[in-house]
Amino acid sequence: MKNPVIRSILVILITLLVPIGLVLGAVRIVLNPWYPKLEYRTPWFPADRYGFTRAEREHYALIAIEYLNTNKGINLLMDLRFPSGQSAPPLSCMEMTDCNLMYNNRELSHMIDVKYVLGIALPVGYAVIIGLILLGLWARKGGWWSDYLSALRRGGWLMIGILLSLIVLVVGVFDWFFTKFHNVFFSSGTWQFYTSDTLIRMFPERFWMDTFIIVGGIAALGGIALIIIGNKWNRP
């Protein structure tokens, strides 16, 4: 490419797109049955004080993931009932017409919101990754391959920098970070629940701390891979 201005703009664009593609790609990897199965088996994962066994948590978590990953409606969760001998704890039961149902209206509404956000975010991630691949093909044919590799390398370093910042937030002030993160995507108050609500019993704070770490770790590995590729392939 002969126009240096356009080339510089493309390099900046690629650098900024890399972390977006890496993070959303990592989210898609984690949003699969393998992750809760692994997470529930970690020695530090807290037991449910209201009665869910590990097997029950895993079973219902996989149904929640199925809801998020498919075009199935909220009835998939709405019709779920507690295992035999269990019901909603008293505090959660107070606002339910049937205490044997697993999810109350607030929880169901939040899951609808989560699916909506993922329905936007994940296609954006796919588009970014496809866009980066197409830009790479253009760079290869258009004579700016070296600039493309440099942009990938810079994007990888940017991802590492973002991850280090997030690690400080997650480890140091997770509650504040978790609140701010949710307020970006969801209306205030729509994602907060009692500790006895099913969503919290299934996915307590420990689950989300580990999720942020795993997603960040996968994205960081992608960033490191791009740095290595950028350095190796860009050698004269």
Domain hosting residue 93, numbered range: 4-233
* Number of domains making up the chain: 1
The span from the CA of 153 to the CA of 159, in Å, is 10
Written as tens digits, the pLDDT of the chain (236 aa) is: 677 788 899 999 999 999 999 999 999 999 999 999 999 999 999 999 998 999 999 999 999 999 999 999 999 999 999 998 888 888 888 878 889 999 999 999 999 999 999 999 999 999 999 999 999 999 989 888 999 999 999 999 999 998 888 777 777 777 777 777 777 777 766 677 888 999 999 999 899 989 988 998 999 999 999 999 888 776 54
- Residue 222 token pair: 């992608």
Q: What is the dihedral of CA 185, 109, 52, 48, to 10 degrees?
A: 40
DSSP code string of 193-227: --TTSHHHHHS-HHHHHHHHHHHHHHHHHHHHHHH
- Residue 116 token pair: 């909506």
Tell me phi and psi for residue 201, to 5 degrees.
-65, -35
The span from the CA of 19 to the CA of 195, in Å, is 34
Contact 40, 57 (CB under 8 A): yes
Burial of 232 (0-12, 13-18, 19+ CB in 10 A): exposed
Three-state DSSP class for residue 236: coil
- Residue 7 token pair: 């080339």
Instruction: Write the DSSP symbol of residue 81.
Output: B
